[in-house]
């Protein structure tokens, strides 16, 4: 007679209740207050706050630089993940650990370091400034900062999928007459596409909400290089709490859309693995 397996933790109802309470207290309740605060002045005040020229400029700048950084991470993050997953070389563990450095490093420290390196007086910026190329205190510096903070999300999403991908499948395609480019395009890339989409969405979500590493290198010029996170802080300093909350709600909506994309991509990736 089969015996009922006992769970090492309390029953479903107790754990579910604790989970909902914990999630509600730390996540749902603060977000609900944010939405309520944004609506405190009415729909007209909310609409004026999020459609003001300065707010629209900051939102547009934030979205465009975040998308650009995420796309760059898709290309170079994929190459880095491929190298770490497929090759052995001296110092591999060190390189693998460095990938996670942006996750552990305080973002303000990263911003100061990037501004020091890429400013017109920095080690890299001083060599580009005579050519008329200015990275720091302009939009390229913002993209660089967002690439820095978003790289681990792409690499750590794609690397496990590459490790699980059997090289014999690629070898079989080449044996049957396909070139390496054809084997990559028709065998490898379709298998990695869901992971690449999920990594892109994760890097994009990270970039949308970034503040510390960007504020030191962006220049923070209204209508030009001002990110939405900085505009929220500016409104808080001006005691415009409803306006700050309104912009925060827009950023929250963008983040929710990105999270839905991440979930859908992961679901597709799991289905492909199951079929394989």
pLDDT value at residue 1? 47
In order of 56, 175, 254, the CA distances from 70 in angstroms are 21, 35, 15
What rounded mean pLDDT belongs to the chain?
A: 85
Q: Quick one: average pLDDT of 234-263?
A: 87
pLDDT of residue 272 exceeding 70: no
Which range is least confidently modeled, 9-18, 45-54, 124-133, 237-246? 9-18
pLDDT of residue 262 exceeding 80: no
Q: Could you report the per-residue pLDDT of 173-227, keeping only the tens digit for each? A: 778 777 778 888 888 888 888 889 888 988 998 898 888 889 888 888 888 888 9
pLDDT band of residue 265 (cuts 50, 70, 90) is low
Q: Could you report the per-residue pLDDT of 15-57, keeping only the tens digit for each? A: 888 888 888 888 888 888 888 888 887 888 889 989 999 999 9
Residue whose token pair is 């944004």: 38
Q: Which domains does the chain have, with CATH numbers?
A: 64-275 (1.10.3720.10)
Question: Using an 8 Å Cβ cutoff, are 225 and 135 in contact?
Answer: no
pLDDT of residue 139 exceeding 80: yes
């Amino acid at each position: 007679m089969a015996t009922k397996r006992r769970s090492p933790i309390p029953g479903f109802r107790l754990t579910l209740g604790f989970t909902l309470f914990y999630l509600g207290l730390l996540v749902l309740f603060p977000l609900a207050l944010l939405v309520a605060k944004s609506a405190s002045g009415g729909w007209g005040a909310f609409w004026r706050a999020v459609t003001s020229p300065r707010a629209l400029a900051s939102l547009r700048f934030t979205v465009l630089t975040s998308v650009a950084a995420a796309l760059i991470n898709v290309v170079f993050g994929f190459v880095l993940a491929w190298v770490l997953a497929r090759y052995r070389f001296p110092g591999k563990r060190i390189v693998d650990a460095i990938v996670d450095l942006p996750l552990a490093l305080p973002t303000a420290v990263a911003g100061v370091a990037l501004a020091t390196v890429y400013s017109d007086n920095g080690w890299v910026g001083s060599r580009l400034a005579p050519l008329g190329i200015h990275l720091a205190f302009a939009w390229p510096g913002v993209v660089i900062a967002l690439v820095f903070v978003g790289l681990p999300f792409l690499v750590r999403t794609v690397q496990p999928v590459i490790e699980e991908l059997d090289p014999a499948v690629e070898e079989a395609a080449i044996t049957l007459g396909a070139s390496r480019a054809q084997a990559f395009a028709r065998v490898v890339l379709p298998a990695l596409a869901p992971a690449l989409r999920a990594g892109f969405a994760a890097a994009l979500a990270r970039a949308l909400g970034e503040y510390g590493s960007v504020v030191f290198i962006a220049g923070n010029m209204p209508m030009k290089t001002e990110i939405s996170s900085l505009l929220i802080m500016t409104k808080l300093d001006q005691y415009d709490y409803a306006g700050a909350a309104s912009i925060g709600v827009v950023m929250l909506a963008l983040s929710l859309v990105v999270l839905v994309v991440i979930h859908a991509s992961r679901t597709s990736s799991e289905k492909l693995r199951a079929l394989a």
